Structures are given as C-alpha cells and as structure tokens.
Amino acid sequence: MSYHVKTALSDLWKEKWINLLGCLSMGVGLFMAALALAAVINSNRVASALPERFSLTVFLKQDATPADIAQIQNALRGDKPVKSVAFISSDKALADLKEGLGNKYSYLLEGLDSNPLQASFDVKLRKEYVRTASVKALAASLKTMSGVDSVNYGKGFLDTIQKVAHAVSEAGLALFAGLLAGAVFICYSTIKILFYRKSDEIETLKLLGATGWFVRAPFLLEGAVMGFFGGLAAGAACFGAFDVFLSGVGGALPLLTNLSIPPALVAGLPVAGMLAGMAGALIAIGRVRP
Amino acid sequence: MIKFESVSKSYDGNMVLNDLSFHVERGELAFLTGPSGAGKTTILKLIYHALAPEAGNIYINGQNTCFIKQSDIPWLRRSIGIVFQDFRLLLTKTVFENVALALRIRGLDEREIKARVMETLKMVGLRHKSDNFPQALSGGEQQRVVIARAIVSEPMLILADEPTGNLDPETAAGIMNSFKEINARGATILIATHNRDLYHNSGRKVFRIASGTAAGIVVRQEES
Ligand SMILES: Nc1ncnc2c1ncn2[C@@H]1O[C@H](COP(=O)(O)OP(=O)(O)OP(=O)(O)O)[C@@H](O)[C@H]1O
Ligand SMILES: [Mg+2]
C-alpha cells in the first residue's frame, strides 16, 4: 500500500468523528441534490409522455366534401402514431347528444330545424407515440388539410404541463448546482480543520523537502474517500426514500406511477461525491508554500 | 558549500545578525558556537531557507538562495540533512516511519527505504526501538532518531543544531564519531553547539558568534 494511502486512511481513522460528520453531511447534500435532479428528469418525462388513452378530435367543416373526408381518413390511417380512427357524422353527433341528455332534457333539442353539430374524427393514439411534440406536429399538419375546421387536443392542458415542467427543470437544476456546491463546501471545511490540526506536521514535511503534492496527496485522498462514502449513503437514501414515497403518496396519483429515480443517477452519486470531495480538499489546501 | 556575504537578519525590528560573513568549504566539518540567543539557529534557518535575510547574499553549493524559485526550495532542502534543535518528530508515526519519511519525500522505493532506515537506526543504536512511537523514547533517544533522519538520505550537507544537547558524554562522543565518519565520506557538516567538548582540541574550524553589542561579528578560530 502506498505511503499516501496509508497516511490518508490513518488520518481518516484518527479524526473519525469529524470525518464521519463530514461524510454524512456530504451525504445529505448529495441526497438532496439527487432528488433535485430526479425531479428535473421526472418532470421532463411527465411533460413528454401524455396520459394514456389520449385522444384528438378533428372537427370538419360543414361544407367538407366526401372526397375531403376520405382523404383525411386515409391520411390518419397511414399515420403511425394513430391507433384508431372513428368517423362521427353530424347526425351521429346529434344522436349521441340526445342520448346523453336523456328523455328528460331531449326537449331542448326539439325545434332545431338544422343540425348545428359538426362532423368529426375521433382519433386515438398509440401509447408509445403519445408525446407532446408529436401530437403537436400531427395537429398542425391536419389543420392544413382541406375540409378540416379545427383540431382539438387539449392544447391548454399540454402547454400548462410543459410550462410546469420547464419551471421545475430550472428550479431543480439551480437547486442541484447549489446543493452540489454545498457538498464541496462541507468537504472544504472538514479538510480545512484536518489541515490546521496537522499544520505542525506539514511544516516539518516542508522543511524536510516535501513538494506541495506530497503534502496535498493524503488530503485529496481523504476528501475523495469522504465524498465517495457520502455519495454511497446518499444513493442508499435515494432508494429508501423513493420506496417510501411510492408506497405512500405515489400510489394514489396515477400520474406519478411512472416516476422513478434513474439507476444511473444513483450510481453516479459516489463518483460525484468523490469529485466534490477532491474539489473541496483542493480548495481547502490551496497553494502549499514551501 | 556555505557562504554568507554581509547577511543581516532581524526579528520584529530587533537585529540578530548584523553584516555577517563567513564560509564553510565543501567537505569541511565546522562548528558554530556562541551564547544562547546569539543567533545560531537563525543562521541554520537561513541556510535551509526557512528564513530569508533582509540584506546580503547566501550561497549554498554555489547557488544564491536569496533568488531561489519557490518551486526549487524542496530540492534545496533535499540536499540538506537537518537535525532540528526542537526535533520536529512526527508523534503519530513510529521511529521507523519518522526516519523513512526523509526517503519517502525523496521518492525511494520501499525495499531500499527499509534497508537504509534499519542500517541508519543501527548506527545510532536504536534498531530495537524502530516500532516505538517518539513519546515512548527518552530525550536522548529522540535526539538520535532526529540525527538518523538527517543522515539517512546521505545528503551533501548536514546541519546539526545542538545535536548532543540531550546526550551523555559517552553517547555524544559516539554521535560525534558518526558525524566524523560521514564527513570522511564527503559530506559537509555544520554543527551548532554550546558544548565545548565537541570542538575543543578537534582541529576543526569554529565560528564563534559574539553576544550583546557585538552581535553578528564572527570570530574564526583554529583549535588544535
Ligand atoms: N521567531 C522569532 N521571532 C522573534 N524573535 C526570535 C525568533 N526566533 C529567534 N528569535 C530571537 O533571535 C535571537 C536568536 O535566536 P536563535 O534561536 O537563533 O538563538 P540560538 O543561538 O540558536 O540560541 P540557543 O543556543 O538558545 O538555541 C534570540 O534573541 C531570539 O529571541
Ligand atoms: Mg538555537
């Protein structure tokens, strides 16, 4: 085992309480940073994947010719994301409405001398294609076809979801950066304490001809170890917290069932912790003057 | 090897060394003496560049260390073995590790470190204490560990600040013999001491720093 590794490990052990505290504090910081990042990832996913059984209604103009209608239908059938297309004539729409109102209110519709309802296509989309961007593109292309009056797909709903997701993303990323900086700072202050405690020893090393890196190396290793285990603890906490969350709140809201903490994110925590630890240690020691 | 040219040094405005000049030739074993507080330790610190002079020039092995680059200071110090007056042992490391440190800093490999440290510890009579921690040693034993650390790397220059301060006359004589041996193999050695026995009748150069008002004036003496 190399001298620096030995020194780092024995120093870690000698100051185990300070180091444990530093490690756990870094873990908390990294845990919260991971949650912030998970929020960003999940909000983006929710915004891009629309609710299942999402449908789109294409309203036809009153003067749409049968040729127009056939062309629209063909276009829809040929489109990959489209699962099923149902044509609803204006007569059928009126009949549906009557049925919906029931006998009690059917008088409301009496006295209409012409049918005011528009014919439409009810379009169901395949689940795997239900993405905000593709729905928007489909709607836009349908709108340009002759005979189409309007396309209704809950634009307001989609826009709101996207706006919310955007806001969550930005806030989450800012929080993530802040918390990561916090983890670096915790390591910085812990290593600074160790560094001051050993300042006499460091002075001796320098008088014996040690270079700056010889002096720094054990501290860098200590920072790396502290960050690594902090990250490991944070990763474990992520899994635990998420299980609790899903079995509690998550199950109640269907929208949340496809939330997840990406495994890659959890796996990255120890690495991120290690880098944060080394960065903190480097800043703490700074330039070692001979 | 060591050359001071009109060197002045003061602490917080109190002049300790005033216009000091002297030189030690390569391969010499010389002594630096004078009363307590005269400035012996200060002179040694100037040599290994823990202090810089306010005026004058200091040459070590031909290099003017007043203009040394920061990054060259570790290399200057690696060419010097220092016996510190206050020992500067690492209390958290064993005797072996303390001595080995001088070699680790110089980047030697583990096998050579082990062999050289044990050999040097044997030379100062502390082989059996290699796994002890400094606090479990007597003052004289600690001093010998410091001496071992200074000589283990076979530096071309050895500075010893009161190296026999805690030793009985017999052990002191033994250490002096080791210094003479190392000197005979080519190292330059400068020993700061009040111990008259060390230099009396040694035939070596003695630099005496006068105290009080004459501070800074060095008297060169030859003794036989
Ligand atoms: N860091 C310092 N700050 C202020 N004054 C100092 C400092 N170091 C030494 N001095 C003063 O400088 C003078 C010379 O000190 P130095 O240690 O060089 O003496 P010395 O000859 O080695 O003495 P001794 O024989 O007691 O070891 C003393 O008067 C001391 O008080
Ligand atoms: Mg002294």
C-alpha A46/C-alpha A163 separation (Å) is 12
Contact B176, B184 (CB under 8 A): no
Return the DSSP state at A119: P
Tell me which residues of chain B, numbers 127 to 186, contact chain A at a CB-CB cutoff of 8 Å: 149
Residue, of A54 and A13, whose pLDDT is higher? A13
When pLDDT is averaged across residues A54-83 and rounded to a whole number, the result is 82
Ligand 1 pocket member B85 (CB < 6 A): yes
Counting one residue from chain A and one from chain B, the pairs whose CB atoms sit within 8 A come to: 44
Ligand 1 pocket member B65 (CB < 6 A): no
When pLDDT is averaged across residues B8-31 and rounded to a whole number, the result is 90
Q: Quick count: other Cβ atoms within 10 Å of Cβ A251?
A: 11
Q: Quick count: other Cβ atoms within 10 Å of Cβ A187?
A: 31
Is B101 close to A205, i.e. CB distance below 8 A?
Answer: yes
Is A206 close to B74, i.e. CB distance below 8 A?
Answer: yes
What is the DSSP track for A186-252? Answer: HHHHHHHHHHHHTHHHHHHHHHTT--HHHHHHHHHHHHHHHHHHHHHHHHHHHHHHHHHHIIIIIHH
pTM across the whole model: 0.78
Instruction: Using a CB–CB cutoff of 8 Å, tell me whether A111 touches chain B.
Output: no
Q: In this model, does residue A182 exceed pLDDT 90? A: yes
Tell me the best of B14, B16, B198 to mutate to test the pocket of ligand 1, counting ligand atoms within 8 Å of each CB and taking the most. Answer: B16
C-alpha A223/C-alpha A209 separation (Å) is 24
- Which has the minimum average pLDDT: A121-130, A191-200, B47-56, B153-162? A121-130
What is the residue type of B10?
A: S
In this prediction, residue A128 carries a pLDDT of 67
In this prediction, residue B91 carries a pLDDT of 93
- Which has the minimum average pLDDT: A132-146, B117-131, B145-159? A132-146
Contact B79, B61 (CB under 8 A): yes
Enter the ipTM: 0.92
Q: In this model, does residue A207 exceed pLDDT 90? A: yes
Instruction: Using a CB–CB cutoff of 8 Å, tell me whether A13 touches chain B.
Output: no
Phi then psi dihedrals of residue A272, to 5 deg: -60, -40
